[in-house]
Amino acid sequence: MPAHPIDSIFFKDLYGSPEMRAVWDDLTLLQKWLDFEAGLARAEAALGLIPAAAAAEITRVARAENIDTAAIKAGIDKTVHPLVSLIWQLTSLCEGEAGKYVHWGATTQDVMDTAIVLQIKDSYPIFERDLDGLIRALADLARTHRKTLMAGRTHGQQALPITFGFKAAVWLAEMARHRERLAACKPRVLTGEFAGAAGTLASVAEHGIAINAKLMDELGLNVPIIAWHTARDNIAEFAQILVMIAATLGKIAHEVIDLQKTEVGEVEEPFEMGKVGSSTMPHKRNPMLCESILTLTRLTRRHAATAVDAMLHEHERDWSSFQMEWAYLPDLAVMTHGAMSLALRVLRGLIVYPDNMWRNLQATHGALLAERVMLALGAHIGRQVAHDVVYEAAMAAFEQRRPMAELLKANPHVTAHLSPDQIDALLNPAEYTGLAAAFVDRVLAAVEA
């Protein structure tokens, strides 16, 4: 059995996507290490610090397919160092004198830090594309169901009428904020590292600033203002945003699960013939996509704490914290994108049942509109007195399973001020959705501006 479900030949696409796994796999990481070494050589050659021919040779051989990965593994096992065996091998692959210029002025953590930033850089377009897809899917739901009546619920109980479009617009606004957060942190996160052994670039001090600028230009990254060997706040910020995205998707998935319960039946995740809910109960239409999303939410949220824990470093370098990122970041990125991919399937194909929503609006026998009746009656007898009168009617409606209208029309405290027709009108849920539709319009206008 594989060590991790994201690598399982059976389950991996429930935990991630092939696209994101490719960004974070070992051969990609190896190539990012090599990209740093080649970029460094070209930067130093451009400044006249090493021969141009040496930089060209280092670039030529710095390809993952040229590297003996088994030898790298054996070297790591022997040296307990992640990079030195690669440097040895890259040096030996170079022809002529080029090998002696490999890794000039850099320290291992420069390579490791920059490589992981390059992987984050490659993940960004994937996250951005699918966040945009989620935003479009939610916008479509909000627009389509702008006026689709349903019961709003607080504390798990029916509260007041809302629209399903309003619910979707709340999700949409939250997802749009995540898109803004991801964009806002991008310049901070996509910053490379070239700082030397203790962060001071002492070995190339005369040219250190120029090398740094040229190297980052070669790699398409931002130039660090100072070493960040022990400052992991930007990585932690990126991680927190991914955890938040996964959390929002988990919340939406949980809501779909709740609304898909047989007794509620207001929405359903996509279904097509052939999807099996149970090996023994043929009738089951289980929300298994949403359950997988919720699984990923629960698995990723622990990485929020790990990311913060990885910020705790001693002195100028501390690998006991730094190495945590090698473990949690690939896991977090792959699983977050897995949740996004599944959520796209759910939201693009979500089945909405307006008739069941209307049916459920009747479940309280009219008590759902108690607030509206209270305020109308309160204009005559005061809010608190009206609250008590309507409260008694609402509790009787619940316990006796009697229509709220019938109880109100039999109460002289009510009929002294409200006619039967007024009572019926006040208990119409279609007339008490407040600004639900207007809020949908506001969110759509803001997101689609």
**CB contact at 8 A, 22 and 28:** yes
**CB contact at 8 A, 226 and 316:** no
CA distance linking residue 375 with residue 408, whole number of Å: 14
Please say if 278 is a catalytic residue. Answer: yes
CA distance linking residue 43 with residue 84, whole number of Å: 21
Place of tokens 């040296």: 79
Residues near 140 by Cβ (< 8 Å), separated by ≥ 6? none
CA 315 to chain centre: 33
Of 155, 279, 283, 315, which one is the catalytic site residue? Answer: 155
CA distance linking residue 59 with residue 67, whole number of Å: 13
Please say if 155 is a catalytic residue. Answer: yes
Q: Output b/e per residue, 225-238; b: 16+ Cβ within 10 A.
A: eebbbbebebbbeb
Residues comprising the chain, all counted: 449
Of 92, 278, 320, 419, which one is the catalytic site residue? Answer: 278
Catalytic residues: 155, 278
